[in-house]
């Protein structure tokens, strides 16, 4: 699959006000703004009344039941959860790609890989 490179202005420090408008537009066009703004919530794991074990309840990969109906719900959830995590990573990558080289170095830390909202807010806080 060929992807088109962003034509958004790179954030280079003093151009935040221009950059934020273009960056938001690009993220919206790519369907990624929702994971930054909170408009696209993380999918919730289906619950089963059979399980009382907190470890199982809190692990997105462990089933709480083996009943067919629950397993179908868990399969759907897992698919949505994986797609959500991919969207988080894409959004973080897209933001970092819209930064100049010095800022890319600063924000290339792995802690932002699945936290585009935190990355966006950190950039905003430092530029305002």
Per-domain residue ranges of the chain:
16-127
pLDDT score at 7: 58
pLDDT digits (tens, 9 = 90+) for 91-107: 999 999 999 999 999 99
> Residue 50's pLDDT is what?
75
Alpha carbons 72 and 67: distance in angstroms, whole number: 9
On the question of pLDDT at 3 being above 80, the answer is no
**pTM to 2 decimals?**
0.84
Q: 3-state SS string over 17-37?
A: HHHHHHHHHHHHHCCCHHHHH
How many angstroms separate the CA atoms of 32 and 42, rounded?
13
Q: Dihedrals φ, ψ of 34, to 5°?
A: -60, -35
């Amino acid at each position: 699959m060929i992807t088109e490179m962003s034509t958004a202005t790179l954030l280079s420090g003093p151009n935040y006000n221009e950059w934020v408008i273009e960056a938001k537009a690009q993220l919206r066009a790519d369907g990624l703004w929702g994971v930054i703004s909170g408009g696209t919530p993380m999918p919730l794991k289906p619950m089963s009344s059979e399980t009382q074990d907190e470890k199982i309840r809190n692990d997105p990969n462990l089933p709480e039941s083996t009943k067919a109906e629950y397993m179908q719900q868990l399969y759907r959830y897992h698919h949505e959860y994986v797609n959500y995590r991919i969207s988080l990573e894409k959004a973080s990558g897209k933001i970092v790609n819209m930064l100049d080289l010095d800022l890319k170095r600063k924000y290339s830390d792995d802690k932002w890989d699945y936290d585009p909202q935190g990355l966006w807010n950190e950039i905003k806080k430092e530029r305002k």
